[in-house]
Amino acid sequence: MKRHLTTLIMVLMVSMMVVSVAEAGRKVPKSGKINDGVFIDATHGFSITMNDEWKAKVKKVKNPFRLVLTQKKFAVPNDYKDAPDYTKTPKVIVWADTSSMSVGEIIDSLLSKTYKSDQKSKMLKEFDILYEDDLIPKGKKRFSLSDKKAIAWKAKALYTNEVATSASSRGGKRVKGSYGGAIIAVKNGDLVVMLHVMCEFQYFKEIYAETMKFANSITWAEDEN
């Protein structure tokens, strides 16, 4: 009896291991795919055209953060020439989900100190510019993207970094600088697509222009039918 029980337990353990290996080997569905430099969202159907100067990472399908674009070759401030890792790498995060709020209301809710929601909590996990302490708003601008209502909010954030110039150095230098950030939101029906960008402020004008190119390249599923 004990021998049969032991055999049964071993069979069950092997079966569980096989299932675990199969689960581990199964690919997690992605939020979309990239064809010829164009990201096509698998759930919402919108697309964004990219370029070779940016590295793309497609997120998981259930994640409202759909795509992350990181500039491959970026400028380094003079203060960081000996320690380039301190540079804020230019990065664009694409978020998409449905909402009953207008694009203006969404931006206001993100900036509000009192408004709370699960959706806002998820956004704040990646919208780094909103976490900066010395944040200086640079205004909001309403406009249209492919006849859809859109809004752009910009800000500047002051910072101080203690920079170690080498691994062996005992001391370092104090660098006072600033980041530039923006959130661009456009709405089509109930679907809201947002682009968050952040980088060193001295390069923000150029990086923001690149981000607007991504935003202007957005097409919707119905536009392609």
pLDDT digits (tens, 9 = 90+) for 202-211: 999 999 999 9
pLDDT given at position 5: 52
* 1 vs 97: which has the higher pLDDT: 97
Q: Which CATH class is domain 29-224?
A: alpha beta
User: Which residues, in sequence order, are CB contacts of 33 under 8 Å at separation 6+?
Assistant: 39, 40, 42, 58
pLDDT given at position 171: 64
pLDDT given at position 28: 83
Query: Can you tell me the mean pLDDT for 146-158?
Result: 96
Percent of the chain with pLDDT strictly greater than 70: 84
pLDDT category at 93 given cuts 50, 70, 90 is very high
What torsion, rounded to 10 degrees, do the Cα atoms 79, 85, 90, 92 define?
A: -150
Closest listed residue to residue 200, CA positions, set 106, 115, 85, 76: 76
pLDDT given at position 164: 83
Pairing of strands 65-71, 54-58: antiparallel
What is the full DSSP assignment across 2-66?
Answer: HHHHHHHHHHHHHHHHHHHHHHHHSPPPBSEEEETTEEEETTT--EEE--TTEEEEE-BTT-SEE
Q: What is the reported pTM?
A: 0.85
pLDDT digits (tens, 9 = 90+) for 74-88: 999 999 999 999 999
- In this structure, how many other beta carbons lie within 10 angstroms of the beta carbon of residue 83? 18
pLDDT given at position 22: 42
- Are 186 and 103 in contact, with CB atoms under 8 Å apart? yes
Tell me the CA distances in angstroms from 32 to 59, 67, 167, one per residue in order.
8, 8, 41
Closest listed residue to residue 64, CA positions, set 35, 104, 34, 93: 93
How many alpha carbons fall within 13 Å on the CB side of residue 128? 14
Q: In the predicted model, is pLDDT for residue 17 greater than 80?
A: no
Q: In the predicted model, is pLDDT for residue 123 greater than 50?
A: yes
pLDDT digits (tens, 9 = 90+) for 33-47: 999 999 999 999 999
Q: In the predicted model, is pLDDT for residue 219 greater than 70?
A: yes
